[in-house]
Amino acid sequence: MIELGELEKRHADFEHKNTRIVAASVESQKAAQKTQAEHPHLTIVSDRDRKLIYALGAVSPYGFPDGSDAAAATTILVDAKGTVRWLYRPDLAIVPLSPDEVLAAVARYLPGGWVN
């Protein structure tokens, strides 16, 4: 949630780069709606059934204490045609990218943002 807050604070920088931030969470739809209300410039989607994280390979097998799979912190830059231009997954889930690092990746891999 700290990372989302930092991204929310920098929403104008992302808008200037024609870039949208979409966060997928394994929380319920109701919880995702609450998170969306707290971060109005981001797009929060519920992936409770984990179909998206499995499709993206954004899974940390056995990542929860009970041995179930957890969503792995993953940043993916996708262009307007749906092509993945860059993917980042930290070695430690507790070390997310800063907004400056995401903006630097956007400048390098999506110089025009997601809009062609």
Question: Per-residue pLDDT for 116 more than 50?
Answer: no
Question: Per-residue pLDDT for 41 more than 90?
Answer: yes
Q: How many CB atoms lie within 10 A of CB 114?
A: 17
**Which two tokens mark 87?**
């993917």
The per-residue pLDDT for 114 is 58
CA pair distance 116, 111, nearest whole angstrom? 10
Closest CA to 71 of 96, 88, 93, 102: 93
Give me the DSSP letters along 44-57: EEE-TT-HHHHHHT
Q: How far is CA 67 from the centre of its chain?
A: 24
In degrees rounded to 5, what are phi and psi of residue 4?
Answer: -60, -40
The per-residue pLDDT for 18 is 85
Please write the tens of the pLDDT for every residue from 66-97.
Answer: 988 888 888 888 888 888 888 888 776 667 78
Q: Structural domains in the chain?
A: 2-109 (3.40.30.10)
